[in-house]
Amino acid sequence: MRVSGYIAAMAAALLVSLSASAQTDRAEVRRGNRQFKKEQYREADVSYRKALLKDSLSVAANYNLASNLYRQQNFDDAAEYVGKISEIAQTHPSGRDIHFNAGDIAIAKKDWQGAVDAFRKAILMDPEDLQAKENYIYAKKMLQNSQGGGGQDQNQDQDQNRDQNQDQNQDQNQDQQDQNQNQNQDRQPQDSPKISEQQAQQMLKAIQAKEQQTQDKVNREKADALKSKDRDKNW
């Protein structure tokens, strides 16, 4: 989650972009930023809302209030406030961060389509943003799973269990046949037992299913490793 503030090198660009009528909210936003850094989220919430009473269109107040609500796990309200400035993000100097945070909030709400859309917009504004790309890949993977792609692993597990049960039953039948045969003849050295072609095919299928299951597990772990990281960035 990227958090804005009126400090560091980005402050000048943000201040220039604000209208003269919006200047009155700066004191409250700055106070909220100080409280946010101290993890005084409730106090910061009050400060940002006071800024919005003075200027409801304040980009900084809406943006930082959304970030503050995100930290309090109030994802629905966070989405509402970042949504208020989403339309101007395309022309705003920090539009990339606005889209990025919108994507983070969407992930928290498990709104995978919304996350994919938001991170795509962030990437279009800054193709070099590697974290936005990673989050986009993760959100897209989760969207595919939610649309039915995740059922493949379960089907493979069922097929593998069925093959294993068939192999076990056949092994038991073969053992019983061998035992009955031995009772009717003298014990003599025998060659190593051979498996039927059908058994060989079933064993091969079980091995292949196991390999596919392992590969899918690795892919899932890679996707989880790409999950959005909490990140602060001062304006």
Q: For the segment 152-175, what is each residue's pLDDT rounded down to a tens digit?
A: 444 554 555 555 555 555 555 565
- Residue 175 maps to a domain: no
Residue range of the domain that includes 73? 11-148
Q: Would you say residue 144 lies in a domain?
A: yes
Tokens of 14: 């943000």
Report yes or no on 209 lying in a domain.
no
The total number of structural domains in the chain stands at 1
Supply φ then ψ for residue 120, to 5 degrees: -65, -40
Token look-up 């309200």 returns 77
Residue 19 covered by a domain: yes
Task: Evaluate if pTM is beyond 0.85.
Answer: no
CA angle 205, 212, 202 (to 5 degrees): 5
pLDDT at 45: 95
* Mean pLDDT score, 189-201: 56
With a CB cutoff of 8 Å and minimum separation 6, the contacts of 60 are 4, 6, 14, 18, 25, 26, 29, 51, 235
Does residue 34 fall inside a structural domain? Answer: yes
215 compared with 20, residue with greater pLDDT? 215
Examine residue 25 and state whether it is found in any structural domain, yes or no.
yes
122: three-class secondary structure by DSSP: helix
Q: Please indicate, yes or no, if residue 159 is contained in any of the structural domains.
A: no
Task: Say how many C-beta atoms besides its own lie within 10 A of residue 206's C-beta.
Answer: 18
Predicted confidence (pLDDT) per residue in 101-145, tens digit = 999 999 999 999 999 999 999 999 999 999 999 999 999 999 999
CB atoms within 10 A of CB 109: 14
CATH number, position 126: 1.25.40.10
DSSP 215-235: HHHHHHHHHHHTSPPP-----
Each residue of 39-93: pLDDT tens digit? 999 999 999 999 999 999 899 999 999 999 999 999 999 999 999 998 888 888 8
The answer to the question of residue 39 being in a domain is yes
